[in-house]
Amino acid sequence: MSAGKSLWEMDELRIVIGAMVILGGATALLVVMPYLLLENVQPPAGLKPYTDEQLIGRQSYIANGCVYCHSQQPRDIGLAPDATRGWGRASVAGDYAYDTPHLLGTMRTGPDLLNIGARQPSKDWQLGHLYQPRAYTPGSIMPPYPFLFEVRQGAAKPGETIVNLPPSFAKPGQVVVAKPEALALVSYLLSLDRTYHALAPRFTAPVSSTAASKDKP
Amino acid sequence: MDFTVSVLLGTFLLSIAALFVFIWSMSKGLFGDGTAAATEIFAPNELGTVEDPAATARQKGDLQQAMGKPGEGAHKMTSSVAAARSRADQSTSLVVGVCLTLAVVWLVLASFAGLISSIKLHAPDWWVQYEWLTFGRLRPIHLNLVAYGWCSLAGIGVAIWLIPRLLMTELVGAKYALVGGALWSVGVFAGTVAIATGHSDGLEWLEYPWQIDILLVVGGALVGFPLWLTLLQRKVKHLYVSVWYIAAGLLWFPILFLIANWPGLHFGVQQATMNWWFAHNVLGLWFTPIGLAASYYFIPKVLGKPIHSYNLSLLGFWSLAFFYSQVGGHHLIGGPVPSWLVTISIVQSMMMVIPVFAVAVNQHMTVLGNFRALIYSPTLRFIVLGAMMYTAASVQGSLQALRGVNAVTHFTHYTVAHAHLGLYGFFTMVMFGSIYFIMPRVMNWEWPYPKLISLHFWLVLIGFLIYFIWLSIGGWLQGLAMLDEKTSFMQSVAMTLPYLEARSIGGGLMTLGHLVFAGHFFAMGWKFGPQRLGAALLSSSVFTRLQGKGAAA
């Protein structure tokens, strides 16, 4: 291949073409195919879109990085006892119809939260837990979020939400007031409730019904 | 036909077809030019001559002695070839110096973000008043500073420095890379501020807002320019395997990052598959190629002997590209994603043993029998260790993709330990070694305090071993506890605490090591220490002197 190298024999060309073909293949498989398959997934009947306040709370969930310790994807009982722990049934694609960006998560330093709203529906508990997790869960390693609250001597103003801490954590004469950001975050957490009955996702594409039922492990 | 079956069958047939194309191209020699390319990184008559600018004159003499006498006529390469190489090295010095300096700054900041995050996991009430110091912000700041600050800019610096060395000519278009590296660094800074102030995109590895991502896409494309321009001027007949890796990596990254960050394109579960397509490809198609390119250059170059098998290295390249690009789905095992996707990713994760063994056999066979060289060459010590960790991280990764193993390790600290084995044990170690080799050539100045190199090495090695071993054990136990329905979730949290504390100790030692490294780096930048231009400059007198020393000793 010394004299008169053809274009095909150029290493540069092999690298560029090979690299692009391989990347294209992987992208088709892992990005484009899921896109085509999932774009027609319908939200299950029991799933409501987020309200404006819940979306603000979701933004706060993202900003404060809750996803780095909490997953939102209970697994099938055949794989892990997630359901036994009260985290809910295995989730399906339709459960995330309104979830962009996705918050599936990769860590369980804390428990799965896809159904935290059903598991712990008390607003007081959620607010107090965000203010000081160890007041409710001894041994928890979750950070407190004091910057979502305002601690003040004296009484709260009308219209403000006071955090009712357990007696041993409340300081006399001092009120802990939840800022709007905390209220929005709790509103989002309480909306996390996928306990409705969901079959596997229903696709409108023709290939779908069989694939959907088989996809459930 | 059932959809899942048809996808799996289609993939199977495609893979078989690819295998045949692969065998055919190999038989036709279309992969690249046989073994001759293995010696392209050496000047005529250079084989047998060791090179490590990080070594002191004494170490270099010992290194040469350990590798045997230089080849017949090695002294003939001295004047003209050494001058040409000197010019080639000089052509990259500004841009490489800038990229590496920025990388070192990011490394130090990233280390502190990581260390503080680590401590916060076992001291949750420490430093909680400020939003930007909360764990959920510091952790992604750490990851992004490591990935896009330290690893990427170090990788870019090393890759650009290697280009003229690999193509035996001066770098063309250094200014594009300089602008690209600057844009990139502005992006890293802006991205860090964005995360700290709560403007994260919310996807792991993709936290920077898309407006900032533009800087990384454009910067990433610009740093590739000099490679393509220099390729047009190349003086070598064959492209050495490092060029393949660097070229492909520089092409892949901007495309990956662009698709992954395109605003408004991805949704719900599809976004999750895209997320892990990206996050695994940024390791497999960006950091790994650069890390392997560096180790494929420096191991043979320091030892003065060509790599074991050139064909094996190209087999490794193509199989890495093919298999690695499809493994991302293994991050979603058990998740609400199509099961065919997960299955394909698991299969390709197992197939990764092919490229991994190709690299392992090749690099370890090259070092085999010359382990004494590790004592004398600071560069080699880091890089060979990194290459070993690459094998370990890859084999561990393949195993972790198996459903049974994954059921235990998924969602635990075990995965975090694994990620550090890859990006720290392998990539960062290789970058340390490369920077020790490169900087004396960039600055025309030797490392002022050689003992600090050893101190750095032992601090980060011991620190990393503590980090990795304890966190892996803790993560595994955590996983077993979470799988046992009789163990409460809080028990799975409590049991990790001693291991998380051990991780902070390991991380503290690593951070200390980085401070030593950064201090030494800047001491060199300000030209501290005695002037010992011997090993740094490839002048003819030095060669003669070294040979004399090698022969006499």
Does the beta-carbon distance from B336 to A18 stay under 8 Å?
no
pLDDT at B26 over 80: no
Does the beta-carbon distance from A31 to B3 stay under 8 Å?
no
> What type of residue is B221?
A
CA torsion, ordered B166, B105, B214, B291, to nearest 10 deg:
30
Copy the structure tokens of residue A161: 């939400």
Does the beta-carbon distance from B341 to A33 stay under 8 Å?
yes
How far is Cα B304 from Cα A16, in angstroms, rounded to an integer?
Answer: 30
For the segment B495-534, what is each residue's pLDDT rounded down to a tens digit?
999 999 999 999 999 999 999 999 999 999 998 877 665 5
Nearest CB partner across the interface for B139, out of A11, A68, A141: A68
B200 to chain A: which residues are within 8 Å by CB? Answer: 62-63, 65
Interface of B with A in 413-432 (CB under 8 A): 413, 415-416
Does the beta-carbon distance from A30 to B128 stay under 8 Å?
no
Does the beta-carbon distance from A26 to B272 stay under 8 Å?
no
Nearest CB partner across the interface for A101, out of B31, B271, B331: B271
How far is Cα B90 from Cα B170, in angstroms, rounded to an integer?
Answer: 8
Helix, strand, coil share of chain A (percent; to 5): 40, 5, 55
Higher-confidence residue of A3 and B238: namely B238
The percentage of residues in chain B with a pLDDT greater than 90, rounded to a whole number, is: 74
Q: Residue B191 — very low, low, confident or very high, per pLDDT cuts 50/70/90?
A: very high
Q: What's the average model confidence in pLDDT over B305-333?
A: 91
Burial class for B156, CB neighbours closer than 10 Å (0-12, 13-18, 19+):
buried
Q: Residue A171 — very low, low, confident or very high, per pLDDT cuts 50/70/90?
A: confident
Q: How many CA atoms lie within 13 A of B24 on its CB side?
A: 6
Copy the structure tokens of residue A47: 């799933």
Interface of B with A in 345-384 (CB under 8 A): 345
B268 to chain A: which residues are within 8 Å by CB? Answer: 38, 41, 93, 96-100, 102
Shortest distance, CA A159 to any CA of chain B (angstroms): 25
B256 to chain A: which residues are within 8 Å by CB? Answer: 23
Q: Please indicate, yes or no, whether the overall pTM of this predicted structure exceeds 0.90.
A: yes
> Helix crossing, B310-324 with B353-367: angle to 10°?
150
Contact (Cβ atoms closer than 8 angstroms) between residue A64 and residue A145:
yes
The answer, for B250 touching chain A at a CB cutoff of 8 Å, is: no
A64 to chain B: which residues are within 8 Å by CB? Answer: 131, 134, 136-137, 198
Does ipTM come in above 0.95? no
Contact (Cβ atoms closer than 8 angstroms) between residue B398 and residue B348:
no
For the segment A134-149, what is each residue's pLDDT rounded down to a tens digit?
999 999 999 999 999 9
Phi, psi (rounded to 5 degrees) for B220 = -65, -40
Q: Residue A30 — very low, low, confident or very high, per pLDDT cuts 50/70/90?
A: very high
Shortest distance, CA A155 to any CA of chain B (angstroms): 22
Contact (Cβ atoms closer than 8 angstroms) between residue B99 and residue A119:
no
For the segment B149-184, what is each residue's pLDDT rounded down to a tens digit?
999 999 999 999 999 999 999 999 999 999 999 999
Q: Which residue has the tokens 């099938």?
A: A76
Contact (Cβ atoms closer than 8 angstroms) between residue A216 and residue B4:
no
The number of residues making up chain A comes to: 217
> What type of residue is B190?
A
Q: Which residue of A has its CA nearest to B238?
A: A11
For the segment A68-125, what is each residue's pLDDT rounded down to a tens digit?
999 999 999 999 999 999 999 999 999 999 999 999 999 999 999 999 999 999 999 9
Q: Give the pLDDT score at B21.
A: 76
How far is Cα B471 from Cα B387, in angstroms, rounded to an integer?
Answer: 22
User: Both ends of chain A: CA-CA distance in Å?
Assistant: 53
| Mean pLDDT value across chain A | 88
Does the beta-carbon distance from A100 to B266 stay under 8 Å?
yes
Q: Residue A9 — very low, low, confident or very high, per pLDDT cuts 50/70/90?
A: low
pLDDT at B412 over 60: yes
Contact (Cβ atoms closer than 8 angstroms) between residue B368 and residue B314:
no
Contact (Cβ atoms closer than 8 angstroms) between residue B393 and residue B425:
yes
pLDDT at A201 over 90: no
Q: Which residue of B has its CA nearest to A102?
A: B268
Q: Give the pLDDT score at B49.
A: 87
Does the beta-carbon distance from B268 to A93 stay under 8 Å?
yes
Q: Give the pLDDT score at B312.
A: 85
Q: Which residue of A has its CA nearest to B132?
A: A64
